[in-house]
Amino acid sequence: MSSDDKSASVPIEPIGTAQRAQVIAATQAWVDRAVALLAQPLALPTVLFDLSGGSAGMFRVQGASCSIRYNPWIFARHFDENLQHTVPHEVAHYVVHMRYPRRRLKPHGPQWQQVMQLFGRPPRVTFDLALDGVPMRRQRRHPYHCGCREHAVSTVRHNRMREGRARYLCRYCSGVLRPAG
């Protein structure tokens, strides 16, 4: 194993205060650019660094408040790439939300693509960079069985069955899945 292979698997540290300040400043700069391009007043949404898993960023609306959440581990792994692409991507979601309030639009639909084009950024949807060393959420599996075998059921499906909101069948024997044990 080369030294590069070893370093790639070592967990990385999330971005610190100085880089977080850079991300907030970049977010503000993209909001300011949207204000100038669209002549629409926009305030800086709440910027959080609490996202984990395989997503670099997320725009979220809760009630009347908006926030942009960034993954500090993915930013640490690919800082410049995320400043160039993730920040304007999430700000574009915010801009679309503010321009078309109370409308159900496709997240990466024509309105979002138009804002990305105004920003001079490609309307990329997927994040395809290496995530070695980035902590990932692992979904717990729950043991279930049917008439022919054992099954590992996701927490979401487990909760749906436990609460009586869903029933799942085995694709091999068509038996109802039941909790093991």
114 and 146 co-located in one domain: no
Q: Has residue 81 been placed in a domain?
A: yes
Model confidence pLDDT, tens digit, residues 131-162: 776 767 667 889 999 999 999 998 889 999 99
User: What count of other Cβ atoms lies within 10 Å of the Cβ of residue 176?
Assistant: 13
Write b or e for each residue in 41-63: b if 16 or more Cβ atoms lie within 10 A of its Cβ, otherwise e. Answer: ebeebebebebeeeebbbbbeee
104 and 167 co-located in one domain: no
Residue 153 structural domain: 141-179
104 and 168 co-located in one domain: no
Reply yes or no on whether 90 is catalytic: yes
Please state whether the predicted TM-score (pTM) of the whole model is above 0.75.
no
Q: Which residue of the set 81, 90, 150, 163 is catalytic?
A: 90
